[in-house]
Amino acid sequence: MPTVDPVPLVPPTPLTLRGHSFTAANPAVMGIVNRTPDSFYSSARYTSIKAGLNAVAAMVADGVDIVDVGGVRAGQQGDWVDADAEIERVLPFLQAVRDVHPHLLISLDTWRSEVARACAGVGIDLVNDTWQGTDPDLVQVAAELRAGYVVSHTGGASPRTDPDGVRYGPDGRDDPDDVVADVLTVLTEGAKRARQAGIPRNAILIDPTLDFGKTTRHSLRTLRATAQIASLGYPVLQALSRKDFVGETLDLPIDDRLEGTLAATAVAAWLGTVCFRAHDVRATRRVVDMVASIRGDRPAAVNQRGVTR
Mean pLDDT of 134-148: 97
Q: Among candidates 82, 9, 81, which has minimal Cα distance to 39?
A: 81
In a domain, 8, yes or no: no
Residue 297 confidence (pLDDT) above 80: yes
Please determine, for residue 75, whether its predicted confidence score (pLDDT) is greater than 80. Answer: no
Q: For residues 88 and 4, what is the distance between their CA atoms, to the nearest angstrom?
A: 58
- The pLDDT assigned to 95 comes to 98
Assigned domain for 255 exists: yes
86 is a domain residue: yes
Q: What is the dihedral of CA 113, 119, 123, 127, to 10 degrees?
A: -30
Given this model, what pLDDT does residue 39 score?
74
Global pTM value: 0.94
> How many residues are present in the chain?
309
CATH code for the domain of 199? 3.20.20.20
Provide the number of structural domains found in the chain: 1
* Per-residue pLDDT reduced to its tens digit, 24-46: 999 999 999 999 887 777 777 78
Cα angle value 144/149/151 (rounded, 5°): 135
Q: Write down the mean pLDDT value for the chain.
A: 93
Q: Report percent pLDDT > 70 for the chain.
A: 97
Q: What residues make up the domain containing 49?
A: 20-162+177-295
The percentage of the chain sitting over the pLDDT mark of 90, rounded to a whole number, equals 81
Structural domain contains residue 254: yes
Model pLDDT for residues 156-182, shown as the tens digit of each residue: 888 878 777 888 887 777 877 899 999
pLDDT given for residue 76 in this prediction: 66
